[in-house]
Amino acid sequence: MLGEYLKLWTILATLVVIWLLTSMWKWIKVGRYLPPGPWGLPVVGYLPWINSLAFLTFEELRKKYGSIFSVNLGPTTAVVLADWKAIKATLVDKSMIFSGRPYHHTFETATKRCTVSFNDGKVWHDQRRLTIKCLRKVGVGRTKMEEIVSHSIDNIIDHLKTKNNQMVSLEDVLFKNVMSILWKMVANKTFADGDKECDEFEKMVTQIMISIRSNNPINFMPWLRFIPPNGFGHWDFVALNNKIYEFLNKQINIHLSNWKEGLEDDFIDHYIAAIKEHEKQTLGEEKHLNTKRLTGTLWDLFVAGTDTTVTTALWGFLYICLWPEVQKKAQKELDEVIGRERLPCLSDFQSGKLPYVDAMIMEVHRFASIVPLSLVHCPLDTVEIFGYKIPKRTPCIQSIYNVHFDPELWVEPKTFNPERFINDKNEAKSPPYLMPFSIGPRICIGESLATQELRLLFGSLLHKFNFSIPNKQNISIVPQVSLVVKPKPYKLLVQLR
């Protein structure tokens, strides 16, 4: 018996010595050049101390270690950029060096390294450029897209009219209609109310966004996926993601069988045309524009695009119920500028006629900060920042939340106040450190479409309805954990104006 205990202690002591020697070697080689940060435990690093809302933990660490610090996430050392100066120094001043994406197990599994968001180098550059080109061809930022968005908003208005003077959850109707906008743009396809495909896709996207959250322990300790019974939910996640890809591939195959040159009328058609042209130009060469990349791009548009727009809207309507004076000011501006005979259109915003409504949307972006930790970047080469040396491919986490609530940048940052964005000329102006879509060359490709949708959505619904929550004391603004931070389910009272 004594011999067995001695063997066990010998094994444990050996493992501890190995860990200490490995840690010392890493520190001598890399760690001493990195920013300071907290020590962690063997294997798990600092993960046990990270809140489920990781950005709150990073806010506390910033107070202790400053605007740039290191943190061990399992065996991976990451650098956290926790204020505007640090983020600007990397994503703006050294934007191309920091345009890389580090290995991130859940993202790799979800995207199959075929999306715009999770690639880097030439493949990312060419795929991003083509995606933006195809979005422009289908009318993003133009009148054609406005017509598609307005049609879906009319559907939302018609639905809410049937719920007049009732308590309503907006999530389902917003999700279906935002998705309908995307499907019309991408595949010239519409979803009718109660469409089973749309309902199923909604469930899949919602679950994927929960599974893919950035603080999922599998991201830093991928071996956890082999632990029974289900690898911390990993294999359910894989099966679910495969269903999403099957659904998207089905739409692509339909388009491939019907595609005719010169008759392209949606995003998939235009992308297929580009693939065929790319094949002609790269005979005998590796082709990095193909249908797999198209599937990945659709994953980006639907999984990221739908949930982020809907989540921003849900936070916005919650805030205007909790701060009703903001709602009244926005409605007053709409009535004075638009009148009561028509709904607002994009030209009303683009001409600067609705500065308060625009400022309200900016404040929703800031206050909600739905992506509090921007998608992780990494330097494509070893680089020096503020006297620290960051090795090639080191994960760099941008804490957008810390910037959006930095008292050095914002007066009373914990107060919801759209007027902070209105200047002396009564113009709504967004400072560079408001960055809900990130910043630099990797800024979200859906920014233009999301801005169109949110302007028309908030403008139209506030023009038609009053929104309120009778029992505000039961409402929490503490978010749910997902890749984006979502409000907990709530209902509001809808009343026709």
Higher pLDDT, 233 or 298: 298
pLDDT of residue 24: 58
In the prediction, which pLDDT does 135 show?
92
pLDDT in the model for residue 31: 56
160: exposed, middle or buried (Cβ count in 10 Å: 0-12, 13-18, 19+): buried
Per-residue pLDDT, 6: 59
Place of tokens 């204020």: 83
| 436 found inside a domain | yes
Average confidence (pLDDT) over 170-174: 92
pLDDT(325) > 60: yes
158 in a domain, yes or no?
yes
The yes-or-no verdict on residue 351 having pLDDT over 70 is yes
pLDDT at 104: 76
Query: Residue 7 falls within a domain, yes or no?
Result: no
Distance of alpha carbon 183 from its chain centroid, rounded? 19
Who wins on pLDDT, 215 or 315? 315
Q: How confident is the model at residue 236 (pLDDT cuts 50, 70, 90)?
A: confident
Q: What is the pLDDT of residue 215?
A: 60
- CA 367 – CA 372 distance, rounded (Å): 10
End-to-end CA distance of the chain: 82
Q: Evaluate if residue 366 carries a pLDDT over 70.
A: yes
Residue 29 has pLDDT above 60, yes or no: no
Would the pLDDT of 192 be above 80?
no
Q: Which is more confident, 140 or 328? A: 328
Q: What is the mean pLDDT of residues 54-58?
A: 93
- Least reliable range by pLDDT among 29-38, 74-83, 156-165, 365-374: 29-38
Query: Which of residues 103 and 410 earns the better pLDDT score?
Result: 410
Q: Please say if the pLDDT value at position 19 is more than 60.
A: no
The structure tokens listed for 11 are 């094994």
Residue 14 is assigned to a structural domain of this protein: no
pLDDT at 204: 85
Residue 167 has pLDDT above 80, yes or no: yes
Tell whether 151 is covered by a domain: yes
Query: Per the domain annotation, does 18 fall within a domain?
Result: no
Distances (CA, A) of 221 to 45, 188, 239, 378, 379: 10, 41, 20, 19, 22
Name the more confident of 80 and 142. Answer: 80
Specify if 276 maps to a domain: yes
Of these ranges, 45-54, 115-124, 188-197, 435-444, the one predicted with the greatest mean pLDDT is 435-444
Nearest to 205 by CA among 485, 490, 483: 483
Residue whose C-alpha is closest to residue 145's, from 352, 459, 461, 452: 452
Task: Give me the mean pLDDT over the 419-425 stretch.
Answer: 97
Count CB atoms within 10 A of the CB of residue 469. 19
Tell me: is residue 444 an annotated ligand-binding position: yes
Using one digit for the tens of pLDDT, what is the confidence trace for 267-318? 999 999 999 888 877 665 556 788 899 999 999 898 888 889 999 999 999 9
Mean pLDDT for the stretch of residues 433-439: 96
Number of structural domains the chain divides into: 1
User: Considering the chain, what is the average pLDDT of its residues?
Assistant: 88
The pLDDT of 384-413, averaged and rounded, is: 95
Whether 40 is in a domain gets the answer yes
pLDDT range class, residue 81, cuts 50, 70, 90: very high
pLDDT at 140: 85
485: domain range?
33-496
Residue 26 has pLDDT above 70, yes or no: no
Q: What's residue 156's pLDDT? A: 96
Confidence of residue 454 (pLDDT cuts 50, 70, 90): very high
CATH code where residue 459 lies: 1.10.630.10
pLDDT at res. 42:
81
